[in-house]
Structure 1
């Protein structure tokens, strides 16, 4: 695995023909994602009937999701919709029993990370269970639902102890460009109460693209370049100060630390 980061290329605006092509292909890729989601949902229903072992079923579903995302990202790259680089992907593939905490600037953040995490576990919003394009994948992959806090905390701790690598976006939703980063404390509370390790991931997009409140057709004049940087892994136990063993105080310290390391200016 190389740690060298290449010097960014000079990005030039597309001419009108390339811009129109990229807009059409962006729409086509969104359609492809939706169709793929429906096909995967059908396959996952079959998987649930065919594979009776819940653990084997979950592992199989997560591998299929990861492979599907890799295929989707390769299609978007080949069609010229976007480009992306993931530095340190091997670290994410090797991580076990830890939280993966990332900032959340775009709609594709989960897709990028899950594409290199074949056994990615994730906390998702309850509302996504009503989405026909992704509900089948959520159920088959046995993702955690962000509903009742105490139940979520206990189940998350159980999975971390079992060796799952759990992906969480501490912001809770996509950030709005220009707004200060606001973190929910749930990820920090989970980290300190389970005394797990944390892997920081920073996601950057060169252009304003698929951020909160934007539409798919609001594409930039220059092809967006995604850069994913896998950062250091550290222990949540480091945030207990001296003899102070209060999880609430440790969670506050950890939240302040995360706000610094996940902020765009610290990428």
Structure 2
């Protein structure tokens, strides 16, 4: 074997071991800061001193966004991942709309929330059973999907006040190589609240933190996330049909947009 090939092979092996150790450090840091500093200490202070719920939600969301931004900067500096945003200026113009994205990795919400200081999220209701994450969800005013009768009023209130709601309509992380399948929840919220939709497409060069993958299953090459802020869908174009038919059409349209790979 050529000496250059041997050197390159050893270098790749060392780089992969380094990314494994750095990833372990990143998860420990994320867990300690998120669950202890942010949830237990900072959010407790917010609840104690900021009595206005809406103001408290906004400060909590800004805190989460800043924390995610710092976390991403650290793991990028350590060489764990790379990422870039395209069309980010479009998000600055968006108010009273849904942010709809595909969901290839566990890191998706961290990436998107890091560039949106004010953004509500539709989250799994099961997370409310976690004592630490539950505090974060409640303090930030995120919208759990556990109580269906409260979702629409909550969403309508956020949108009426100029807020944005981040939704992953797949409901779970996608599986590489398989077509994505969207649930109709996002379409129904958009139609019933008459909210426009901003599309965001996320691509990852090397599958990492995908569904069913362990954190220590490090890809051979460093994962690189390419996040593109796409077109904005005007919901009025889908309101001429009854809600059931319109939800089907809108869901098919969203599926086509989020399935694009170019």
TM-score range, shorter chain: over 0.9
Deviations 1:73-116 (A, max 9, x none): 00000000001001122322331100000000000000000000
The TM-score, its normalising length taken from structure 1, stands at 0.90
Contact 1:98 1:160 in 2 (8 A): yes
Q: How far apart in 1 are the matches of 2:232 and 2:62?
A: 24
Match of 2:39 in 1: 41
What's the CA shift for 1:55?
A: 1.5
| 1:238-253 alignment runs, 5 A limit | 238-240=237-239, 244-253=240-249
What's the CA shift for 1:133?
A: 4.4
Q: How far apart in 2 are the matches of 1:237 and 1:148?
A: 27
Q: How far apart in 1 are the matches of 2:74 and 2:132?
A: 19
**In the alignment, is residue 86 of structure 1 matched against residue 85 of structure 2?**
yes
Q: How far apart in 2 are the matches of 1:82 and 1:232?
A: 26
What's the CA shift for 1:187?
A: 0.4
Aligned length: 252
Match of 1:73 in 2: 72
C-alpha root-mean-square deviation of aligned residues, in Å?
1.5
Deviations 1:17-67 (A, max 9, x none): 111111100111011110011210121012101111112111111111000
Gapped regions of structure 2 (runs ≥ 5): 1-7
Match of 1:208 in 2: 207
Match of 2:5 in 1: none
Contact 2:100 2:167 in 1 (8 A): yes
**In the alignment, is residue 17 of structure 1 matched against residue 26 of structure 2?**
no
Match of 1:140 in 2: 139
Contact 1:41 1:137 in 2 (8 A): yes
Q: How far apart in 2 are the matches of 1:130 and 1:150?
A: 19
